[in-house]
Chain A
Amino acid sequence: MALDFRAVAHKSWRTIASIQTGVVLLILVVILAAAGTIVLQRPVTEPDEMQSAYSPQALRILDAVGMTDVFHAWWFLGLMLLVSLCITAASIDRFPNSWRFFSRPYKYPDESFRRASHPQKSVAIADEETGLVAAQRALHSLGFKPERVVREDHFGIFAERHRISEMAVYIVHASLLLIFFGTIVDGLWGWRGTLNLNEGQTSNIVELRDGSMRTLPFAIRCDSAGQENYKDGTPKKWWSNLAVVEGGQDVKKKEIVVNDPLLYSGIRFYQSSYGPNGKVDKFSLVATPSTGSGQTKEIALAVDDTVPLDADTTVRFAEFFPDYAVRDGQVYRKSNDLENPAAHLIVTSKRAGESNAKNFDVWFPPLEEVADNSKSPWQFHATDLKMGHFTGLQVSHEPGQWAVWSGVVLLGIGLAFVFYVVHMRFWAVPVCDPKTGKCSLWIGGSANRNRDAFEQRFNDLVASVEEGLKTIPSSSPREQVATVVAN
């Protein structure tokens, strides 16, 4: 092969792991996501609204390139995968270095490190041991746990805090990948839909976003539902009493409200709306015979109920219009809102000796064109109208959720470490000039962020060491070692 495969692989790896690639990809995500908020999106827009907003040609082009559904387009998903890949590659690329740093802390600074290190300071000391003890005590008083480092012929003091901070950025990246993973799982295996139930109704069919139906392995029954209002009439609370029915038995019951869903076998049911379903639950009436003689009766009807009034007469609740309109002798349903209701009763009477039963149309209100209320053998007086209600449920199945939420928690922890936990290191090394025999204590420090605050801390340390040197009597080295061991 003309191309060196390994060179190409190496170069690709370098490219994908580089910060430039990451930046370019993130900028692309920003641009495309912004475009997705400006161009109308199919999933949330009515088709005719789309057509009135764009010309047919423009719409065809937008549809073809996926701009009308950016967030579900294959190229957006591909871009997100590339971003994940880039994060992974960049992390893997940089990890070994950080790991070495993390697992094998640099405890004894050699001469070249000492020369380049910042901040650093040299303090004159009488002998090596005095300096080491002073440094040890000063670090102790700052809350560190200093350790004595012995290399062949050198001594040093090393102290550090929050080494984990070096790993924080990997925690952040890993948590982002976890979140991406969760959303991808949800995108592939999750679904969302709606389920509207009337009080008392049981159903196991959910209408999905795309209009298709999904049958659940269990059914949901709505035992009751209701609404509480504020004084001014705006809704305060919607609630539904739901029961899960599986194998003919109620296996779970819960009252759900907005923000508190029912969870059963990974599927969640949310209260999302509540309202009249346009159907009558109970229509209460008082019936009196037109002749004036006979018993007054109280009856209650649901639509299609038939009730006997006397031996020859029955009444049937034939139709109900929550919001009616009359045109050309016909009654129409204008809407499902209980705005302008009309009820249609049919009184059927069959007197003895008559061959045919007679029907009378009784209307509430008495609509002139269609009603023959006055001819009816019974007169009615409406006392109460109870409407039925439906409860609107959102149903969703999101198998990737656990990954998303654990990713979010991890992200919070990671960011807290990235920004607020500083890896601090201090070294103290006594350096003696073999010619003059004069000794000094080299003190150095390093922090991976917030360096100005660290320098303040470093200066405090140096001051503390200098203070300590005054109080430690320069005694023989042997004794000093003993006290240190005792410490």
Chain B
Amino acid sequence: MARAQAEQQQPTTGMTLIVMVGLAIAFLLLMAFLNVIKSGNVLSETNLLFATLIFYAGAGALYLGFGVTGTESYVKFASLATWLGLIANTAAVAHRWYEAGHAPFSSVYEMLLSFVWTLAVLTLVAEKKFGVKVIGTVTMPVAIVGVVLMQLLRTEVHPLVPALQSTWLHVHVTLAMLAYAACALSFALAMMFLIQDNMKTETFLAVTSASALAIYAGVVLTRFEKWGGLSLVAWDPERKSEVFLSRGVRLFVSVPDLGWLLLLTTLVVAAPLFLYLVSRYAKIVWYFRSLPARWADTFSMRGLGDAGATGAWIKIHPEPQNKEGWALLANRAVFLSILLQIMALVMFVVRANDARYPSLDADGLFPTSLAASPFILSGLVGGVFISLLYLLLLWRRPDLGRLLPSADDLDRITYKTICLAFPLLTLMIAAGAYWANQTWGSYWSWDPKETWAAITWLVYALYLHMRITRGWRGRRAAYFAIAGFAVVMFTFFGVTYLLPGLHAYA
């Protein structure tokens, strides 16, 4: 149905969406203006962030419209909106910087502010310089989620503890942001390469379903409480920080019944992957049974095995067909999972403020806050986003193929972004080591964040060696770029939340 709608839209010039987005932006700006008149405060950070959000949202809608319909005229307006959003974003960063007296990198909120800014800049660079117009379809929604998260995490200007008062910290964090943004870009480009390289849509189904499943399984496994509750970190509204029982031990509060919903969503999210595996069951079994013959072939190069064994084996055991019916069902399941995910997200946002916990020092019960669980929230939003991207691919694949640069170009641009990311990673680690040396008296202490930064560096070093000396191109290089970004994500989020260490600030 949606496909039919999209096809109807195509012949028009796409003015409808532009006008709609334009009107929406104008309306929201008017509302903001009225609000400004009422409060009399023009250049506050809230207003700047609100303007940023409005423009990015407009740009995101237009880029999505472009991604879905392929109407070229959207891009012009989308980048205009991105430019305006970027101006507001820059002003917000500058305001924060001025107010705090230090570069905005010291809390999760300030890091997000800078990250979103970098993302918008990179989007414009990728679009103008490399002609990857569709990139905004991916990056702008991420920027929007970032700005929304900032609204939740809004903090007062926190003074810097002594250890953080160093120019090297700013150098370190700026480089980290730039490096990670470049890694993210290389990941997006590698994904686009796989699309252009005619990777099967079902494979993307399996991957998107598995990623969403990983998010939900992660949340459910760590936070599911007995009898269907979901435990969240307690939030101290006075101090605007998480509540700690003792050093490093957070107080968890259970939100009743929310756990069941997330468990159900997890099952539904797993369904497409399950159906995919069922549809490929015969083939997977067939592949595993053929392995001895394949190994014989491999070893025949060293004079050990039997050349041509695979061919002989396949002659006897023909490759079974996939059961397409199941695959179609899997696509339906994706649709269902998106609906349920949105419901889980809404319920989470609504209920996250509901749990009560008794205060440790004062009498009375305190509510939990959505602001205390930014990573679960971004995980849930990310899940919806990944699944929506799959739908985009499923419905508009031929158009995407037309819009994206050729596979060769994408391969080369991916490599170039990694050539940019790698020196940045190196300098980031070096600046961090220098700072650590000034602060803790040791440039390297094998703290988990450091170790994972080194691992990230090694993974990209491997990529470069494989590419330069072994001539890896195409799929294998793309898989490597994707794996590299997965490691980056773990270093950025996973280490902070799963592994203890010195990097307690960020």
> What is A's interface to B at a CB cutoff of 8 Å?
19, 22-23, 26-27, 29-30, 33-34, 36-38, 41, 44, 70-71, 183, 192, 230, 232, 234-238, 257-261, 268, 270-272, 394-396, 398, 401, 404-405, 408, 411-412, 415-416, 419, 452
Contact = CB atoms under 8 A, between A and B. Distances in A.
With a 10 A CB-CB cut-off, give which of A36, A237, A396, A408 has the most chain B CB atoms. Answer: A408
A415 B439 contact: no
Contacts of A258: 162-163, 165, 439
B440 A394 contact: yes
Contacts of B465: 19, 22-23
A452 B455 contact: no
Contact of A261 (B160, B427, B438, B446): B438
Contacts of A232: 159
A23 B462 contact: yes
B440 A272 contact: yes
A396 B442 contact: yes
B419 A401 contact: no
Interface in B441-455: 441-444, 446-448, 451-452, 454-455
B161 interface: yes
Contact of B446 (A71, A259, A401, A408): A71
Consensus secondary structure, chain A interface: helix
B385 interface: no
Nearest to B160: A236
B389 to A, nearest CB: 29
B438 A260 contact: yes
30 contacts: A19-B469, A19-B470, A23-B462, A26-B461, A30-B458, A37-B451, A37-B495, A71-B451, A234-B158, A235-B162, A236-B160, A238-B162, A257-B162, A258-B163, A259-B168, A259-B438, A268-B441, A270-B438, A272-B441, A394-B440, A395-B441, A396-B442, A398-B442, A404-B433, A404-B443, A408-B430, A408-B434, A415-B422, A416-B423, A452-B412
A349 to B, nearest CB: 45
B162 A261 contact: no
A411 B441 contact: no
Contact of B165 (A26, A259, A261, A416): A259
Interface string B394-419: 00000000000000000010000001
A411 B461 CA distance: 13
A14 to B, nearest CB: 15
Contacts of B206: none
A101 to B, nearest CB: 16
A234 B438 CA distance: 21
A412 B430 contact: yes
B451 A33 contact: yes
Give chain B's interface residue range (CB within 8 Å of chain A). 35 or more
Contacts of A237: 162, 165
Interface of B: 158-163, 165-166, 168, 412, 419-420, 422-423, 426-427, 430, 433-435, 437-444, 446-448, 451-452, 454-455, 458-459, 461-462, 465-466, 469-470, 495, 499
A316 B447 CA distance: 50
Nearest to A269: B441
B38 to A, nearest CB: 30
A44 B447 CA distance: 9
A37 B448 contact: yes
A16 to B, nearest CB: 16
B440 A270 contact: yes
B420 to A, nearest CB: 8
Contacts of A401: 437, 443
A416 B420 CA distance: 10
B398 to A, nearest CB: 27
B242 to A, nearest CB: 16
A261 B433 contact: no
A30 B162 contact: no
B455 A30 contact: yes
A23 B466 CA distance: 9
B423 A415 contact: yes
A235 to B, nearest CB: 6
B438 A38 contact: no
A49 to B, nearest CB: 10
Contact of B458 (A26, A70, A272): A26
